[in-house]
Structure 1
Amino acid sequence: MRRHLFVILSIFLLLSGCANWGVVDKTRMLMGTQVQIIVSGSGFTRVAKTAAIGKAFERIKEIEGLLSVYDATSEISKVNSFADVRPITVSDDTIRVIKKADEISKITGGAFDITIAPLVNLWGFGPRGVILNKPKEREIHNALRLVGMRNIKIDYARKTIRFLRSGVRLDLSGIAKGYAVDCAIETLKSEGIKNALVNAGGDIYCIGKVSPCRQWRIGIQNPRHKNEIIDTVDIEDSAIATSGDYERFSFYSGVRVSHIIDPRTGEPKSSVPASVSIKAADCMTADAFATAVFVLGPDKGLDFLSKVASVEGMIIIEKKDRFEAYRTDGFKKK
């Protein structure tokens, strides 16, 4: 079985409300995780809501077909196969995601970097599968030479990608799900839906409300006990995404090693923090920032978030037998 199919959901939806507002709730397996779409509100029949949800699922499937590194026929796989030979033309969706990733890489000082694929594969978290032994320092050093946005040339006008060094590879896993969620929400809006939630393995975007008197309430999972909620947050017309060391990990010499790798050092993050949750205006931003702040760590992560407009966050740290949560002002409990 492929490990990427068994990502533990980092956020639970809490559907307690004052009234059932004609909720339609559907789930499909897409992008290596369970994707849940819920539509609420009056003015639409159950059939109409179900049809709108179906179109949103198809849009996510379309994005998966473009951006998945696990699909050998995807657009990003084509880029990885041929961009070190010639410029590869990509779709509007792909160039939009790459542009956003480039912007976030710059403002995070490289803590988020889509050229991280050589390191992801080296540590056994990519399509090539699990490794048995920790990589050697020489292997990490060689992979690091291939990491960095300096190693790719992007022509936004022509929508082309060209690798400047042989062996460079892209991995959009830290941003693709967020973008797919955004696209699903736009599809629902185009169908006239005003109240909905899309949840792709913990990358969540909510519009409107779940009922006339209640916002969508999201429960954030305890990093060590998947059925326990450590905090809740109300969401309306915005997104939230969580990255954690519990989603996918390995052990080397008794040390838990997260699938989240620091592009600057070549080493996976371990122990601190346990999870990072980010609220933003769109899910693509929340998704990428959650990874970047996890890489930056608690102190630098909170300092970074304090300087970024319209983005809030919560970092959960494990200390012996307890957890401590650190929040930006906009994420603090009311």
Structure 2
Amino acid sequence: MRSALIYIALFTSMLTIAQQNYKRTLKLMGSRFDITVVANDETSGNAAIDKAVAEITRLEKMISSWDSTSQTAAINKNAGIQPVYVSTELFELIARALKISQLTQGAFDISYASMDKIWKFDGSMTAAPSPDAIAQSVAKVGYQNILLDKKAQTVFLKEKGMKIGFGAIGKGFAADKAKALLMADGIVGGIINASGDLNTWGTQADGSDWKVAITNPFNKSKAFSWLPVVNSAVVTSGNYEKYVSFNGKRYSHIIDPRTGYPTTGIISATIFTKDAEVADALATSVFVMGIEVGLDFVNQLKGVECILIDDKGKMYTSENIDLENEE
């Protein structure tokens, strides 16, 4: 009996060693996705990745405001006209988004899609828009006007011209869903990287933790630090590539949906928490809140940590972050 147990232990060890990381990079939801899974062979690894891709594609068809046949497009088309019946999955996503809006006092708002695009980050702007134009640009924004009827399972945008969009939560939502699907299928480890929205589970094939680099925004080839990511999500929002400067002040492409003004001060916000969907929404929220308010906000949330970098390159961390510095 004892020798049989030893044999089983050795065989299990051999199976573990035989596993490898299998990775594929592709464009989904208009962004780069890197999907890595731990599997015993190439066939099962590719099958798992195919399944994740199919799931993300399905979700994109549901939440895309650009797809005229999507449920989201139907909600927007009927703004100010009538409620729209939606799937349980989309209804619950919108309900969670509204809770985050309440929690962040509107710093996160999926009705940001109603905003007039008066700020340009393509180098064409020579002056900031007028205060009146900025105020008018957010006139139709307001999560309070997204009305949910739980019994009828409908969504109604109260004002004509209102729109919702999932640009600040959609990739995290998709990463969570793909991860859950693969875990249910018995994939023991993996990482879904949706253009910086990462969600991990298990370990790499060699047993080591997945790690994420906190990039130096002023030199992307250098990392401030590396952090292990164990069965959790990491999302970074940054404005070091899209911004405009007027009178010596730098304005981010991330705009405060409450005021219509671009955010200033922070150039990178990284959130660590259990779910990529929540991390995605909070990264945008903290960016809008600013360093002092954002740090205070995160420190009050259980199971959430953050790293912020300001426009001078100074790093700020929440209370329980332990950095592994890059040498």
Per the alignment, residue 292 of structure 1 pairs with 285
Greater CA drift, 26-35 or 164-173: 164-173
Does structure 2 retain, via aligned residues, the 8 Å contact 1:33–1:200?
A: yes
Percent identity over the alignment is 34
When normalised by structure 1's length, the TM-score is: 0.85
1:67 aligns with 2:63: yes
1:90 aligns with 2:86: yes
Per the alignment, residue 5 of structure 1 pairs with none
Query: Could you say if the C-alpha distance between residues 138 and 106 of structure 1 is closer, same or farther in structure 2, counting changes exceeding 3 Å?
Result: same
Q: Secondary structure at the match of 2:115?
A: helix
Per the alignment, residue 23 of structure 2 pairs with 25
For 1:248 and 1:71, locate their aligned partners in 2 and report how far apart those are by CA, in whole Å.
25
The residue correspondences of 1:256-271 to structure 2 (distance < 5 A) are: 256-270=250-264
For 1:240 and 1:31, locate their aligned partners in 2 and report how far apart those are by CA, in whole Å.
19
Query: Could you say if the C-alpha distance between residues 269 and 36 of structure 1 is closer, same or farther in structure 2, counting changes exceeding 3 Å?
Result: same
- Equivalent position to 1:239, from 233, 244, 263: 233
Greater CA drift, 302-311 or 19-28: 19-28
Per the alignment, residue 7 of structure 1 pairs with none
For 1:123 and 1:109, locate their aligned partners in 2 and report how far apart those are by CA, in whole Å.
23
Offset of residue 72 of structure 1 = 3.4
Q: Secondary structure at the match of 2:235?
A: strand
- Equivalent position to 1:192, from 166, 169, 186: 186
**Structure 1, residues 69-118: CA drift from partner, whole Å, max 9, x if none?**
33333322221111321101122232222111111111111111111113
* Structure 1 runs (4+) greater than 6 angstroms displaced: none
For 1:178 and 1:267, locate their aligned partners in 2 and report how far apart those are by CA, in whole Å.
25
Does structure 2 retain, via aligned residues, the 8 Å contact 1:120–1:261?
A: no
Relative contact order higher in (CA < 8 Å, ≥ 6 apart):
1
Per the alignment, residue 35 of structure 2 pairs with 37
Query: Could you say if the C-alpha distance between residues 79 and 281 of structure 1 is closer, same or farther in structure 2, counting changes exceeding 3 Å?
Result: same
The residue correspondences of 1:1-334 to structure 2 (distance < 5 A) are: 21-41=19-39, 44-119=40-115, 121-124=117-120, 132=125, 134-251=128-245, 255-270=249-264, 272-319=265-312, 323-333=313-323
Query: Could you say if the C-alpha distance between residues 170 and 253 of structure 1 is closer, same or farther in structure 2, counting changes exceeding 3 Å?
Result: farther
Query: Could you say if the C-alpha distance between residues 122 and 82 of structure 1 is closer, same or farther in structure 2, counting changes exceeding 3 Å?
Result: farther
For 1:63 and 1:223, locate their aligned partners in 2 and report how far apart those are by CA, in whole Å.
31
Q: CA RMSD in A?
A: 2.2
Does structure 2 retain, via aligned residues, the 8 Å contact 1:88–1:162?
A: yes
For structure 1, the residue ranges without an aligned partner over 5 or more in a row are 1-18
Does structure 1 retain, via aligned residues, the 8 Å contact 2:252–2:263?
A: yes
For 1:152 and 1:135, locate their aligned partners in 2 and report how far apart those are by CA, in whole Å.
28
For 2:138 and 2:159, locate their aligned partners in 1 and report how far apart those are by CA, in whole Å.
12
For structure 2, the residue ranges without an aligned partner over 5 or more in a row are 1-16
